[in-house]
Amino acid sequence: MTFLKSSSQVLALLLLFFIATATSCKKKTKIDDPEPTDEQELITHFMWVLTDSATNVSTTYSFIDPDGAGGVAAFYGPGDSAGTQADSVIVLKDSTTYFGRVVLLNATASPVDSISNEVRDKGYEHMFFYNNGSAAVTNSDVPYAVKLANGTTIQYTDTDSGTPSRSIGLRTRIRTATAAKASKVPLQIVLKHQPGVKDGTYGPGETDIEVNFKVKIN
């Protein structure tokens, strides 16, 4: 009986040792597994849809980079195929109000991924800046407004859910002036990602996309 009892004790000790060893190995394997990392959003299509408030006619001005940075060369529209344009000239009528809407897409995804929906949903950490050839933007008013060199005014019409609420810039109201018809003035549109630091100014955060247009008034 003493032998059987001792054998049972030995078997129990071996079983405990096996469980402890297996558990230890399992934990080690879990620790050694690489942690998943978040991939940066790919934006292949930047489209600014401008709708004439009087005629309800829309024109889309686009910047398309089919496979992101590098690889296939990026190009400007209108249109969705490569052309010879070095930049896109936005042609507007004088003394006219337009409504602007930005659409961002990742066309490499299947189905196509709408990045602008994410920007809208997380507007409290995103903001578009419509720069007059300069990144020195300090206006943090709501609604945010920018004036270009030819007198064109761009006013934001959307706001985020942050506290305080600030502009996003996916949707805008554009009003053209009557002067400076002959010249083309620069317009740089930049989407900044500003999680936790959005304050209505250009400086904080990182640039998700930057597109340079020229604006001409007919």
Report pLDDT for 11.
34
Same domain, 32 and 50: no
Same domain, 49 and 33: no
Choose the most confident range, by mean pLDDT, from 108-117, 119-128, 139-148. Answer: 119-128
Residue 122 belongs to domain spanning: 45-217
Which residues in 130-166 are b (16+ Cβ under 10 Å) and which e? bbbeeeebeeeeeebbbebebebebbbbbbbeeeeeb
Are the C-beta atoms of residues 188 and 207 closer than 8 Å to each other?
Answer: no
Selected residue with higher pLDDT from 70 and 47: 47
pTM of full prediction above 0.85? no
User: Total structural domains in the chain?
Assistant: 2
Report pLDDT for 176.
94
- DSSP code of 55? T
Same domain, 9 and 109: no
Q: For the segment 183-199, what is each residue's pLDDT rounded down to a tens digit?
A: 788 999 999 999 999 98
The secondary structure element, H or E, covering residue 115 is: helix 115-121
- pLDDT above 70 for 39: no
Same domain, 11 and 98: no
Mean per-residue pLDDT over the chain, rounded? 79
